[in-house]
């Protein structure tokens, strides 16, 4: 008999098969991923995890028979006698007529890794080719000191650390000090007695031999300075979520906005190591809030869009230097704005915000069931449209229904972004 230990064999033999399966089930899994992500918080979207897909999209057909007369033998008869008639579906037999028959696998759940999840979620998307392209992909690395190591290049030898260790070793091993030997040699010079001379000589020899055995600096003492590569802070982004929370914004509209922000967040996290989110809500004045308040806090009042833009501008100036941060902003609103505010909005956007932003999206949310063509363009929409016509890098879309969020997002970020030319919905 042989016993073989296979535990050290690489596991994951199924990895390739699993990838093939995912590739094949991509459309299905993608749908499932999107559905799963609808019920999560912005940051939780990235967690990956379980999705379930319908099996019938992925089943392997075989010739199967069904129906007809059936005979079956079952265990556990307690009360039936020959000739009894059991009702087909009822409590008579306690079960359906054909226990153990028929397939019950209508959907199955499986776990996607974080990476797989996000890849499928964002497949096909790319950062829009807008303003400051120079930052978009760049991710430079810097070096920082990170302790010492036992190997490295000679240029990095840390002398002080090496000498300290050598000293400790010499003390521990009792290496004779040169002064001690010199002193004995001086005594030898003056000594005349032969016996004593011989003893001194022997002692000196012994000390010298010991000093030879224990080197002053041993290779094991040597330490090198170690460096570690860390990403430089340039690979970071900030995402501004601007939302109108005045009375006219319904829960439904906020939900639409949330989904859009969620997508944007996931998208940015894939691109940058570090993404900050700033939530700004506004009525006729704006304030920075946390996520909970942003989406669920009650607030009401008039509408002054410029307040939010001003707030964003202030925050950028104080905390996010445009040279270090990639700035993204998405604004969600139902489009209402005070007429007198238009000029302010236009000025803030053109002078302050758009020049420093990588991407600015305006999402006009509506009640579900309404159609945009039934309504005249809102004040804000017309204003932005005008700015866009002047060549400002604005992206704008109208959304009324949950199901449209992803397509709209997809549209905005599609590869080979010609979206700018296409008319908004």
Which parts of this chain interact with other proteins (CB under 8 A)? 1-7, 9, 11-14, 16-25, 50, 58, 60-78, 80-88, 92-95, 97-100, 108-111
CB-wise, 94 or 376, nearer to other proteins?
A: 94
Three-state DSSP at 421 gives: coil
In the complex, minimum distance from the CB of residue 48 to other proteins, in angstroms, rounded to a whole number: 14
In the complex, minimum distance from the CB of residue 87 to other proteins, in angstroms, rounded to a whole number: 5
Cβ-in-10-Å burial (0-12, 13-18, 19+) of 121 comes to: buried
In 10 A of CB 154, how many CB atoms?
Answer: 7
Bridge partners, 246 (sequence order): none
User: What is the distance between the terminal CA atoms of the chain, rounded to a whole angstrom?
Assistant: 73
Q: At what angle do helices 402-413 and 251-271 cross, to 10 degrees?
A: 30
CB-wise, 87 or 369, nearer to other proteins?
A: 87
d(CA 407, CA 404): 5
CB-wise, 17 or 153, nearer to other proteins?
A: 17
In the complex, minimum distance from the CB of residue 71 to other proteins, in angstroms, rounded to a whole number: 5
CB-wise, 11 or 298, nearer to other proteins?
A: 11
In the complex, minimum distance from the CB of residue 270 to other proteins, in angstroms, rounded to a whole number: 24
CB-wise, 49 or 322, nearer to other proteins?
A: 49
In 10 A of CB 302, how many CB atoms?
Answer: 14
Please report which residue ranges of 173-250 form alpha helices under DSSP H: 178-190, 194-213
CB 239 within 8 A of CB 278: yes
The token pair that represents 259 in the structure block: 């989904």
In the complex, minimum distance from the CB of residue 35 to other proteins, in angstroms, rounded to a whole number: 17
In the complex, minimum distance from the CB of residue 57 to other proteins, in angstroms, rounded to a whole number: 11
Q: Return the ∠ at Cα 190 (arms to 189 and 196), rounded to 5°.
A: 90
CB-wise, 24 or 347, nearer to other proteins?
A: 24
In 10 A of CB 288, how many CB atoms?
Answer: 16
User: Could you write out the DSSP letters of every residue in 35-53?
Assistant: HHHTTS-TGGGGG-EEEEE
CB-wise, 8 or 159, nearer to other proteins?
A: 8
Where on the phi/psi map is residue 381: left (φ > 0), alpha (ψ -120 to 50), or beta? alpha
In the complex, minimum distance from the CB of residue 106 to other proteins, in angstroms, rounded to a whole number: 13
């Amino acid at each position: 008999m042989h016993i073989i230990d296979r535990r050290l064999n690489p596991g994951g033999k199924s990895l390739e098969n699993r990838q093939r399966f995912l590739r094949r089930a991509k459309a299905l899994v993608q749908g499932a991923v999107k559905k799963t992500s609808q019920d999560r918080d912005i940051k939780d979207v990235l967690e990956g995890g379980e999705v379930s897909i319908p099996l019938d999209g992925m089943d392997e057909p075989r010739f199967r028979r069904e129906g007809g007369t059936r005979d079956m033998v079952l265990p556990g008869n307690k009360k039936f006698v020959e000739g009894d008639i059991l009702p087909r579906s009822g409590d008579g037999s306690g079960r359906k007529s054909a226990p153990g028959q028929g397939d019950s696998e209508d959907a199955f759940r499986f776990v996607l890794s974080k990476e797989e999840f996000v890849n499928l979620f964002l497949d096909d998307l790319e950062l829009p080719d807008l303003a400051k392209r120079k930052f978009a992909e760049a991710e430079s690395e810097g070096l920082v000191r990170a302790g010492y190591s036992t190997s490295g290049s000679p240029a990095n030898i840390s002398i002080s650390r090496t000498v300290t260790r050598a000293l400790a070793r010499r003390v521990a091993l009792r290496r004779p000090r040169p002064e001690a030997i010199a002193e004995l040699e001086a005594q030898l010079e003056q000594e005349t007695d032969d016996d004593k001379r011989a003893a001194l000589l022997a002692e000196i020899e012994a000390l010298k031999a010991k000093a030879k055995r224990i080197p002053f600096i041993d290779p094991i003492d040597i330490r090198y300075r170690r460096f570690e590569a860390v990403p430089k802070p340039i690979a970071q982004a900030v995402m501004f979520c601007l939302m109108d929370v005045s009375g006219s914004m319904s829960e439904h509209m906020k939900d639409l906005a949330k989904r859009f922000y969620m997508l944007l967040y996931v998208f940015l996290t894939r691109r940058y190591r570090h993404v900050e989110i700033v939530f700004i809500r506004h009525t006729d004045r704006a304030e920075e809030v946390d996520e909970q308040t942003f989406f669920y806090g009650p607030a009401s009042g008039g509408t002054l869009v410029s307040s939010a833009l001003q707030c964003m501008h202030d925050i950028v100036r104080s905390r996010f230097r445009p040279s270090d941060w990639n700035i993204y902003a998405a604004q969600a609103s139902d489009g209402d704005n005070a007429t007198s505010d238009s000029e302010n909005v236009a000025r803030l956007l053109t002078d302050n915000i758009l020049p420093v932003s990588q991407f600015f999206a305006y999402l006009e949310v509506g009640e579900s069931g309404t159609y945009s063509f039934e309504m005249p363009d809102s004040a804000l929409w017309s204003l932005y449209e005008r700015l866009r016509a002047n060549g400002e890098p604005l992206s704008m879309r109208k959304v009324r229904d949950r199901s449209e969020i992803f397509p709209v997002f997809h549209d905005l970020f599609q590869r080979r972004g010609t979206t700018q030319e296409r008319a908004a919905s």
